[in-house]
Amino acid sequence: MVDPIPEDPPLEIRPRRLVLGLGNPGPDYAGTRHNVGFAVLDLLVSRHGLTWESGPESLVATLPPAPGSEDPGVVLAKPLTFMNRSGRALRGLARKLKLEGPEQFFVITDDIHLPLGGLRLRATGSTGGHNGLASIEEAAGSRDYPRLRFGVDSPSGGGADLVDFVLNTFSPAEQAVLEDSLDQASFALEDWAHGLPFEELQARYNRRKPQAES
């Protein structure tokens, strides 16, 4: 009697994950401080030769897995719901991708509490008064999700000047710092997507004052 050929064991595929860049849709908001989350994802998509596809409430692209990995890839998304309703887009994407918990999505957003180009990776934290993060936290039912805060500086006057400040573009003098930090942030997202442990991400990319490093 010929022994039966044993079947290969089933592959253990990690669930698909999500990177959500926060911003406002439309040309009026392109290049503004509030849209650095979009800008980082645009850079990552361009570097890999990907294209954005229109979904119900988001533009989406899929970052392929690292060579040799059995991971199904990570979905990149730019919500079309406007900043203060970012959680609505998250809920729809979480259902579609069958995300199992907040640790499976990663958010990148602007932060007026950091100097221009500062990067701060956190595994949890408060909203810091950010409407986009407040919407995400409400939708997720948790504050324990990884996020990257990208420093956009703050207006010297504060208060009433804040809304105009974050909805304005960067000055020519800020471009060198901005472009370097956008590049670093895009690699941080890629490393997270490819499974680099979060503590290593923090050690590699957290920086408060990139100006001092130039």
Calculate what percentage of the chain has a pLDDT beyond 90: 79
pLDDT grade for 67, boundaries at 50, 70 and 90:
confident
Q: Tell me the C-alpha distance between 83 and 36, whole Å.
A: 12
pLDDT grade for 172, boundaries at 50, 70 and 90:
very high
Q: Tell me the C-alpha distance between 7 and 145, whole Å.
A: 38
Q: Tell me the C-alpha distance between 138 and 140, whole Å.
A: 6
Q: Tell me the C-alpha distance between 199 and 133, whole Å.
A: 22
Q: Do 174 and 132 meet the contact criterion of CB atoms below 8 Å apart? A: no
- Check whether 199 has a pLDDT greater than 80: yes
Would the pTM count as exceeding 0.85? Answer: yes
Q: Do 136 and 23 meet the contact criterion of CB atoms below 8 Å apart? A: no
- Check whether 16 has a pLDDT greater than 60: yes
CATH 3.40.50.1470 matches 17-213: yes
- Check whether 214 has a pLDDT greater than 90: no
Q: Tell me the C-alpha distance between 214 and 207, whole Å.
A: 12
Q: Tell me the C-alpha distance between 62 and 88, whole Å.
A: 20
Question: Is 130 one of the catalytic residues?
Answer: no
Q: Do 119 and 184 meet the contact criterion of CB atoms below 8 Å apart? A: yes
Catalytic residue among 34, 48, 113, 130: 34
Q: What residues does each domain of the chain span?
A: 17-213
- Check whether 1 has a pLDDT greater than 80: no
Q: Give the pLDDT mean for 10-14.
A: 48
Query: Tens digits of per-residue pLDDT, 126-140?
Result: 999 999 999 999 999
Write the single-letter amino acid at 147.
R
Q: How far is CA 81 from CA 63, 102, 132, in A?
A: 22, 20, 10
Task: Describe the strand order of the beta sheet including 105-111 as a list of residue ranges.
Answer: 53-54, 58-63, 74-79, 17-21, 105-111, 147-151, 119-122
Q: Tell me the C-alpha distance between 151 and 116, whole Å.
A: 5
Q: Do 83 and 70 meet the contact criterion of CB atoms below 8 Å apart? A: no
Q: Do 146 and 185 meet the contact criterion of CB atoms below 8 Å apart? A: no
Q: Indicate the Cα dihedral angle 69, 78, 141, 143, nearest 10°.
A: 80
